[in-house]
């Protein structure tokens, strides 16, 4: 089912995404939102039900992970799904204008940015140049996990996602407002490369 046909309800959209991922895991994919008629209709505008902020890693393509198609998701991707001014502005635009009912932050297993941050925390060097701010931000999240006694790379990946969700709720006014109004749900996920499933990290406004 195209997400545009899903009721505009955070819980219903979340359930539809879970069903799509289950289809991927079980090998029962369906054709969704790819025909020429649909693409032609999208020239008039977009009406996505979900906004996704995800890591840029090529092994975690959003539309494939959830078995969705053209026009279903407004997707923002950065290494380690870190937030900067451009990403925050993109989220603010999407939340204010697209009337999506779910915001997903998706990290993943074997994240390179988290791996580099882990190496730094173990005594390695920080990258120089443009990559440095990425690793610094991911390392800050990893340090929170370490303080709580969570030392595995998977723990760092989960904490990085949880920290991103918290920052969005704190720093993007529309996210907090829509969440409080009950028209938006926010989900933090970790995609597992080994079996294509998604692991829930945090939930706000959905269950």
Residue 55 annotated as lining a ligand binding site? yes
Instruction: Tell me, yes or no, whether 118 lies in a domain.
Output: yes
Q: How does pLDDT run across 59-95, given as a tens digit for each residue?
A: 999 999 999 999 999 999 999 999 999 999 999 999 9
| DSSP secondary structure, 139-180, as one string | HHHHHHHHHTT--SHHHHHHHHHHHHHHHHHHH-HHHHHHHH
Contact (CB, 8 A) for 115 and 142: no
- Inter-residue contact 187 to 202 (CB < 8 Å): yes
Q: At what angle do helices 112-121 and 153-171 cross, to 10 degrees?
A: 110
pLDDT of the residue at 4: 78
Write out residues in the chain with pLDDT < 70, as ranges: 1-2, 33-34, 37
58-67 burial code (b ≥16 CB/10 A, e <16): eebebbebbb
Residues in CB range of 145: below 8 A, 6 or more apart: 151, 155, 156, 158, 159
Q: How many domains does the chain have?
A: 1
Q: Tokens 């505008």 — which residue? A: 45
Tell whether 123 is covered by a domain. Answer: yes
Residue 155, annotated ligand binder?
no
The verdict on whether residue 81 carries a ligand-binding annotation is no
Range of the domain at 197: 1-202
Q: What pLDDT score was predicted for residue 41?
A: 72
What CATH number does the domain containing 11 carry?
3.40.1050.10
Q: Is residue 46 part of a domain?
A: yes
pLDDT of residue 45: 79
Q: Is residue 207 part of a domain?
A: no
| Cβ atoms 95, 7 nearer than 8 A | no
The token pair at 139 is: 């390392």
Residue 139 lies in a domain: yes
Alpha-carbon span 95 to 113, nearest angstrom: 27
57 assigned ligand-binding residue: yes
Token pair, residue 48, equals: 């996505």
Domain-located, residue 109: yes
Q: Which long-range contacts (CB under 8 A, 24 or more apart) does 84-88 make?
A: 84/133, 87/53, 88/171, 88/172
Residue 195 lies in a domain: yes
Residue 37 is assigned to a structural domain of this protein: yes
């Amino acid at each position: 089912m195209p997400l545009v046909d899903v009721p505009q309800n955070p819980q219903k959209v979340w359930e539809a995404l879970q069903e799509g991922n289950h289809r991927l895991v079980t090998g029962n994919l369906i054709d969704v939102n790819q025909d020429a008629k649909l693409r032609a209709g999208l020239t008039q505008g977009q009406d996505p039900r979900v906004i996704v902020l995800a890591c840029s890693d090529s092994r975690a393509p959003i539309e494939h992970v959830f078995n969705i198609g053209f026009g279903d998701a407004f997707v923002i991707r950065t290494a380690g799904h870190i937030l900067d001014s451009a990403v925050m502005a993109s989220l603010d635009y999407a939340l204010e204008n697209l009337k999506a009912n779910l915001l997903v932050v998706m990290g993943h297993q074997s994240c390179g940015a988290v791996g580099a941050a882990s190496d730094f925390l173990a005594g390695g060097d920080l990258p120089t140049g443009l990559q440095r701010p990425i690793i610094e931000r991911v390392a800050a999240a990893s340090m929170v996990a370490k303080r709580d006694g969570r030392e595995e790379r998977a723990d760092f990946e989960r904490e990085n996602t949880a920290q991103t969700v918290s920052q969005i709720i704190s720093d993007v006014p529309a996210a907090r407002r829509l969440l409080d109004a009950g028209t938006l749900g926010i989900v933090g996920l970790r995609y597992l490369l080994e079996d294509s499933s998604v692991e829930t990290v945090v939930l706000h406004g959905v269950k």
